[in-house]
Amino acid sequence: MPAFAGAPIFSYSFSSADFARRLAVLLIAILVAGAARPTSAAAGEDASAILATLNAQRKIAHQPIEGPPEALDAFYAALSRTAAKKPGALTRVCHFGDSTVEMDLVPGPIRRLLAKDWGDGGRGFLLLARPRPWYRPYDVEYDPSAKWITVDPGQPGGIRRFGLGGGLCEAYKDGAKTEIEPVKDGPVGTAFSRVEILYPVRPDSGDMIVEIDGDKKGTIHGAGSPAKDAFVEVRVPDGRYEIEVTAPKKGTKAYGIIMERDGPGIVYDHLGVNGSGVPTYLSIDKDHWEAQLRHRDPDLVVIALGTNDVYPDLDLESYKKQMAQLIHRAKEAVPGAAVLWMAPLDRATKQGSALVSNPMMPRLIAAQREVALAEKVAFWSCFDAMGGEGSMGRWFNSKPRLGAGDLFHPTKEGGEVLGENFYSALMKGFGEYLTKNGVAPAPRPKPEDPLSKETLQ
């Protein structure tokens, strides 16, 4: 769309009419992106062909990714092999965060764009049960029964072990069941060839029966001692199947399920916890969280927190130490992966008839940027991508509406705008990596898996 390529879409000095016009243009661009963007089939086997694909993509003005030039090299190296269609080349992303992530509002559009350009590696991780009614993941047919409950890190006390997705799912009635199936069409999540079910082995858990298209594959025995975290794997020919997991007895516990293809392709996990902030994640058992992440072995870890950390008496110096601690945990879990901190959206409050930014938000963003750069990880700001201070009010009043009525979440359309903006910044860096390094000659070494691989009985 050359008419607006390079234009400062989100400058907040626009008049209201100009702002609305530019937002409308961007949303139209998102809707026609499928026609404007070549598929991964054009990528070819070498860096020059991939660069040609990148150069043909529609360009938009975007909020840049900040940090050391090499901060995302591990991710770009993996993506280069995926784009070059190397056999088995899956590029994995784990995107942690709060309710905006839990609802898939920003991760979902990013997942679709990555998969459309570079291949569908499968839908990735899903909780086995809904933690809340608004957990409605994109790009999957997902139907857990109401006989499950989910405990997350926002609830105090208890065993602070919640699995990769931040939710311990427990059958509170006999016969709790979850049915999951790939979508019929779309850029991502249309098939799988490998399923993992992750769960804790505990004396107070129970069995789960696993079926694929009505064919019983076996039983998971979740009761046992000593306690440990485990997984089972089921392989099938690549295709679209219904997965059914049933807990015959109440008290059975599980973390979630992973659906992947053999590759090449992209797998993008959304791992949000409602109401969470940096202290919430630090409250999780450190060794457990790191082991879950190491098992998943992503090429990029995205941490998107801050919306729920904004309160008037926030001690920013203490907060910066906590943020650095969380970054250290991610680095320790997967030393070979890239880490990116995604700063939150603007958060507005009503003052009379006006919608104004929470006065703490610009200070929080500045503190997050400071820590991310000091820790030498990548940094990208939703707040700045929206237009900075006062932007949530403008997003709420725009047509179509981009900011939700609670004044701190995006609408679905707003999530698409942010996803497109971030993806454009990500691809700019990918082009620079390819120009300098070419396609990575080999995948990075896999870490030793800390989880126990079990066999269906």
Q: Distance of CA 426 to CAs 43, 72, 271, 308, Å?
A: 17, 9, 20, 26
Q: What is the pLDDT of residue 279?
A: 96
> Which 3 state secondary structure label does DSSP give 108?
helix
pLDDT value of position 312: 86
- Percentage of the residues of the chain whose pLDDT score is greater than 70: 90
Kindly state whether residues 390 and 403 are assigned to the same domain: yes
Query: Which pLDDT score, from 0 to 100, does residue 41 have?
Result: 37
Euclidean distance between CA atoms 50 and 116, whole angstroms = 14
pLDDT computed for residue 351 by the predictor: 87
Do the domain assignments include residue 454?
A: no
238, 262, 286 — which closes off a domain?
262
pLDDT of 264 reads 97
**Tokens matching residue 140:** 């999957």
Could you tell me if 9 and 38 lie in one domain?
Answer: yes
Question: Taking residues 65-85, what's their average pLDDT?
Answer: 97
Q: Identify the CATH number of the domain in which residue 225 sits.
A: 2.60.120.1360
Q: Are residues 93 and 188 in the same domain?
A: no
One domain, residues 175 and 91: no
pLDDT of residue 14: 33
Are residue 236 and residue 158 in the same domain, yes or no? yes
- What's the whole-number mean pLDDT along residues 71-91? 97
The domain tally of the chain equals 2
Q: Which domain covers residue 221, as residue numbers?
A: 124-262
Could you tell me which of 435, 407, 447, 425 has the C-alpha nearest to residue 299? 447
Check residue 158 and give its pLDDT: 80
Nearest to 178 by CA among 272, 257, 270: 257
> Are residues 277 and 423 both part of a single domain?
yes
List pLDDT tens digits, range 355-384: 999 999 999 999 999 999 999 999 999 999
* Residue 141 lies inside a defined structural domain of this protein: yes
Residue-level pLDDT at 22: 41
| Same domain, yes or no: 290 and 420 | yes
Q: Give tens-digit pLDDT for 22-58.
A: 444 344 333 333 333 333 433 445 898 899 888 887 7
Where do we find the tokens 């485990």? 230
Q: Which pLDDT band, with edges at 50, 70 and 90, does 430 fall under?
A: very high
Asked if the model's pLDDT at residue 136 lies above 70, the reply is: yes
Strand ranges across the sheet with 265-272:
265-272, 90-97, 300-304, 338-343, 378-381
Average the pLDDT over 104-120 and give the result: 97
CATH of the domain at 103: 3.40.50.1110
The DSSP annotation for 267-325 comes to: EEEEEE-TT--HHHHHTS-HHHHHHHHHHH--SEEEEE--GGG--TT--HHHHHHHHHH
Please compute the mean of the pLDDT values over residues 94-118 and round it to a whole number. 97
Q: Is residue 455 part of a domain?
A: no
